[in-house]
Structure 1
Amino acid sequence: MKGRTIILDHIRGREAAALLVDGQLDDFLIATDAPAPGTIYRARADRPVKGQGGMFLTTPDGPAFLRQVKGLAPGVHLLVQVTGYAEPGKAIPVTAKLLFKSRYAIVTPGAPGLNVSRSIRDDEERDRLQEVAHTEMGKSGFGLILRSACVGVDADEIAEDIAQMANLADQVLQDDGDAPGFLTDGDGPHVQAWRDWTDPADVVTQPGAFAEHGVLDLLDDALSARTSLPGGGFLFIEPTRALVAVDVNTGSDMSLAAGQKANFACAKALPRALRVRGLGGQIVLDLAPMAKKDRRGFEAVLRAALRADGEETSLAGWTPLGHFELQRKRGRIPVAEMLK
């Protein structure tokens, strides 16, 4: 099956969304019981953490942790937004820099300026979008980023999207409550799929679509520890409490370049493998043997693959034992935990 297909359905009573690209599961979203990223609270500052530059906060969903809190005193109320998922037993990660994100627009109350995504390179299109931005936000003190999905979209549709996000931002910032409270919820899987999977695709919404389109079988394959690579190699991806271990194997290839080929294939396949599984945190790659002169090429391939991935990931580098380490934002709860 060629092309892109977005399937919106439910699995085990939870809202879920699957993105298929050429018949392969490229992304998968599932609702969780934890506060979704994007949720906004009115929180109370409780206890500073010396040495970490952070503060524990009280929210309606439990304790949260805010970094970079210079000048913030205990007892003060402030607006914060959930940025990811916490490990079991830890506080919810939040930020005081609020973003109101939709399909075409991101309204940034704390960062003035009207901007167009850098990935839009056509000068005429950038000028058109700048005009739309100035028309809708010219008198506002909020900042705005127009996303790459705006390319070729009717100006009225973009303007409507901007207005909705600006109105939501205005309502939230006018909050004058004096106790911890809930203000807005983060997007669920179906809305997030509409917001972020913007490339042209067939969209399927009827109940039972996961079974009809083979998503359940693809999900079983994707969540197994072993992932096949082009050329006969394979990965073992095994989450532990401390980190995610990725073991690269050459398989039946016994050539001198087998290690290099398997490692480069791993670099291309790893972002999708982590994304579909919902894995983040510390990622440690135990690569197949290859010459040190090939390390720079491996990093270049991995960096290019991660550039197209939506989750923030930093390359930590090589260890003395020859492992390669990544640090990936915990933007999702592992899918395997949700499907137990």
Structure 2
Amino acid sequence: MDDGELEEIFFDEIETIAGKIYLGKIEKIVPGLEAAFVKIGKGRNAFLKLSEINEVYRETILKEQEVKEGQKILVQVKKDASGKKGPQVTTQIGIADRFVVIFPFKKVIGVSRKIEDASERRRLRTTAFSLRKRHGVGVIVRTAAEGVDEEEIIKNFERALEKWNQVLQKFRRSRKPKLLHEEDPVEQIIKEKVNSKIDRLIYNNRSLLETLQKYLQNLPKKPELEYVEGDLFEKFSVYERMKKLLSRTVQLKSGGNIVIDRTEALTVIDVNSESYTDAENQEELALKTNMEAIEEIVRQLILRNIGGIVVIDFIKQKDPKSYEKLLSRFKEVAKRDGTRIEIFGFTNLGLLEITRKRTTRPLDTLLFTRCPVCSGTGKVLSQKILLKRIREDLKKLKNFEEVTLKVHPNMSGYFKREDIKKLQKEFKVKLNLDYGWHDPNSYEIKAKTKKGGK
């Protein structure tokens, strides 16, 4: 939470396999795709790009140059399964710890872009270069390492290296697809998200205190630790703020809103001014609403864990300089996101195109399941169409005197007394209506014939 606003949320009860390392088995190679499908022993086969397999990996893991079907292989999950697609895996293994990420099969060195101080970047890069030269693995220094003593960074590196050696030993001893390495979800959140910018860390399980202290001891500025009993989400109104995540429309403080529609291919966000009229002219009104919308859009991208292609339809602006201001502001606000956002600029139609790195599934797919009634469309048949179908079915019935029609409760306000009388007169039957039918897209007709049959 930041200044009373919910910024990011995680659910450790909901399973994700992103980041986990598996021993896999190559089930099928598809030359046309330059890819392979890998059995990892979990759900659908995973997708692997063969172009990612470099010489170091071949020598260390495959022990040969050619990739073959039936071969065991070491992979890490880049993206969870989504829709009809299985998970995506890579051979470019990364082992993360508090201050560094090591890459056993790459020679890369780097420092987090979020560390902006030039002298600090040089110091950390020198440390990373020394570690890579000494141990022969790639090293990326993370944001949390800013201001941390070199000695602590080296200890952290050695811990990550030990994790890697354990993974490698398990891989060499095993033959069948299996999970080799995963992070504890609570430790992972602390390690990934708690830094010197956090003022207060609240917990409701005393057994976590030792874990928290372990990860916080080397931070230059430590957050205040506070123990509170009970449901923290209830006490700090997180559930109330989560309601925004369930809605297609998110209100802006000024009176405007943004509308979020997510499809499998992309997410479209529409900005509307609605009742906001507190501006001297239309251009000023549009710019103020668009600027406010940028803050909420980035927050919602993070909260809902929206990834892939995102297209934003801002309120139209006449002045080209207004679009330059919007683009500049979006780039600035996007820096708050720990996930990589690429901004491609405005199209000829005035739509802002961006992409956000996708690893785990979007929040709505974790919290909700597809509706069995509307099959995920969010729509059901109109009462007018349903009544027309009922009428057509009644026409097909012959030689009956009484009909019981079961319909969904949403038809109760549609059937007026005169409609029932009209149907009874048209078909010369006694019509009984039952509003206890379960499906708004269908109905049930039971007819009693004049001879006493049904």
Question: Does the alignment reach a TM-score above 0.5?
Answer: yes
| 8 Å Cα contact 1:223/1:277 also seen in 2 | no
Paired residue type of 2:178: G
> Is the partner of 2:359 in helix, strand or coil?
coil
| 8 Å Cα contact 1:36/1:188 also seen in 2 | no
Q: 1:137-286 residue pairs with structure 2 within 5 A?
A: 139-174=134-169, 175-176=171-172, 177-186=174-183, 188-198=185-195, 199-206=197-204, 207-254=230-277, 255-257=281-283, 258-286=285-313
Aligned to 1:29: 10
Which region of structure 1 is more displaced relative to structure 2, 124-133 or 178-187? 124-133
Q: CA RMSD in A?
A: 2.8
Aligned to 1:67: 49
Deviation at 1:250, TM superposition (A): 1.1
Which region of structure 1 is more displaced relative to structure 2, 189-198 or 280-289? 189-198
Closer, same or farther in 2 for the Cα pair 1:259/1:201, shift >3 Å?
Answer: same
The structure, 1 or 2, with the larger RCO (C-alpha pairs under 8 Å, 6+ apart) is 1
Deviation at 1:296, TM superposition (A): 3.4
| 8 Å Cα contact 1:86/1:330 also seen in 2 | no
Q: Distance in 2 between matches of 1:315 and 1:124?
A: 28
Closer, same or farther in 2 for the Cα pair 1:221/1:113, shift >3 Å?
Answer: closer
Q: Distance in 2 between matches of 1:278 and 1:139?
A: 38
Deviation at 1:93, TM superposition (A): 1.2
**Are residues 1:339 and 2:364 paired?**
no
Q: Distance in 2 between matches of 1:117 and 1:240?
A: 32
Q: Structure 2: where are the runs of 5+ without partners?
A: 54-65, 205-229, 369-454
Paired residue type of 1:165: A
> Is the partner of 2:69 in helix, strand or coil?
coil
Paired residue type of 1:335: L
Paired residue type of 2:68: A
| 8 Å Cα contact 2:80/2:86 also seen in 1 | no
Aligned to 1:302: 330
What is the aligned length? 321
Aligned to 2:412: none
Deviation at 1:97, TM superposition (A): 0.6
Q: Distance in 2 between matches of 1:317 and 1:45?
A: 40
Q: Distance in 1 between matches of 2:184 and 2:252?
A: 33
Larger radius of gyration: 2
> Is the partner of 2:27 in helix, strand or coil?
strand
Q: Distance in 1 between matches of 2:264 and 2:30?
A: 24
Paired residue type of 1:331: T
Aligned to 2:61: none
> Is the partner of 1:98 in helix, strand or coil?
coil
| 8 Å Cα contact 1:56/1:64 also seen in 2 | yes
Q: Structure 1: where are the runs of 5+ without partners?
A: 1-19
Aligned to 1:314: 342
Whichever structure has more helix as a proportion of its residues is 2
**Are residues 1:330 and 2:327 paired?**
no
| 8 Å Cα contact 1:37/1:186 also seen in 2 | no
Q: Distance in 2 between matches of 1:21 and 1:218?
A: 12
> Is the partner of 1:27 in helix, strand or coil?
coil
Paired residue type of 2:276: D
Whichever structure has more strand as a proportion of its residues is 1
> Is the partner of 1:268 in helix, strand or coil?
helix
> Is the partner of 2:81 in helix, strand or coil?
coil
Deviation at 1:225, TM superposition (A): 2.2
Closer, same or farther in 2 for the Cα pair 1:196/1:103, shift >3 Å?
Answer: farther
Which region of structure 1 is more displaced relative to structure 2, 288-297 or 57-66? 288-297
Paired residue type of 2:235: E
Aligned to 1:9: none
Provide TM-score, normalisation by structure 1.
0.82
| 8 Å Cα contact 1:29/1:189 also seen in 2 | no
Deviation at 1:27, TM superposition (A): 0.8
| 8 Å Cα contact 1:268/1:301 also seen in 2 | no
Q: Distance in 1 between matches of 2:77 and 2:325?
A: 36
Q: Which residue among 97, 111, 121 is the counterpart of 1:116?
A: 111
Closer, same or farther in 2 for the Cα pair 1:107/1:321, shift >3 Å?
Answer: same
Deviations 1:157-196 (A, max 9, x none): 4333222111111222342133322111245255224323
Paired residue type of 2:46: A
Closer, same or farther in 2 for the Cα pair 1:265/1:54, shift >3 Å?
Answer: farther
Deviation at 1:37, TM superposition (A): 1.7
